[in-house]
Amino acid sequence: MTRPAPALAPAATSGPSVTDRLGYSAYFLVALLLAIIFLMPIVWSFANSFKPAAEALANPVALFSKAFSLENYRRLENVGAGWYVYAANSVAIALGTVLLTILISVPAGYGFSKFRFPGQSLIFMVVMATMMIPFQSILTPLFLVLKILGLQNSLFGLVLVYTTFQLPFSIFMMRNAFDAVPGALIEAARIDGASQWTLVRRIMLPLALPGAATVAMFAFLNAWNEFLAALIFLSDQTKFTLPIMLVNVSSGIYGIIDWGALQAGITLTMVPCILLFLLLQRYYVRGLTAGAVK
């Protein structure tokens, strides 16, 4: 009686080849170099903001200092109305822009995505065409309109201006986000007797949350960092924003740049943006690619 042939042992799998390892190492080194290049300005500003004022002025290129000081941040309290007033104005304007942009762009994007009405394509094209209008070219008409409405030196007027220029991109983003929601879910909800409000609140919005988060992040960053409109439309120093404050602290006696106070102001300005991006980064890519693949 013949015995069965022994089973062959599985072939040993070889590890990554030398070429693959070299390619991975080169990719890692290039990525690390690019990361250092992009992060160095942030690290340099942060480090210089904690230098003594005299040392920051004498040697602004040096990254680290022997002494740790909060002098630059204390000096920002004496700039105009104080940095906390400008920060409060920036927060109010940015949050107001985010809220108003979301309240308008979400229903508008839902309407363009899930409803059909006469002239839909033309209206959407007109809305998108406004993105090609240079902001600087209509500053004078905007100034006159705000003056007629009594909003020329008002934070709310600035919120309206920022929201107006943020809406085309936000409506486009929300339409793509709602396009990514399968129509079968909407039909199933309607068969179950869900009202339009219930459909939007319990089904559409949770699924389109990455798009809404992306819209909110872009609206916040644009309103937070915008300088020209705030400089032109605001005349009361107590209503200035952080970017305007940076201009006021950048020049010292005889035009010498006050590096310490400037870097402290830059640090205060960029920290909220970095934190917001880190909090919403998982929605960012999903929101930008929503509706791209069907």
Alpha-carbon distance values, 129 to 122, 169, 179 (Å) = 10, 10, 21
The CATH architecture to which 81-288 belongs is Orthogonal Bundle (1.10)
Q: Which of the residue ranges 118-122, 147-151, 163-167, 185-189 would you say has the lowest mean pLDDT? A: 185-189
Per the structure block, which two tokens stand in for 170?
A: 């936000």
What is the reported pLDDT for 253?
A: 56
Report the predicted TM-score, pTM, of the whole model to 2 decimal places: 0.81
> 213 with 207: CB under 8 angstroms?
no
Domain boundaries, the chain: 20-72, 81-288
DSSP H stretches of helix in 180-258: 183-191, 196-199, 205-207, 209-225, 228-233, 242-250
Q: What is the mean pLDDT of the chain?
A: 83
- Give the pLDDT of residue 15: 61
pLDDT the model gives residue 152: 86
**What is the model's pLDDT at position 14?**
58
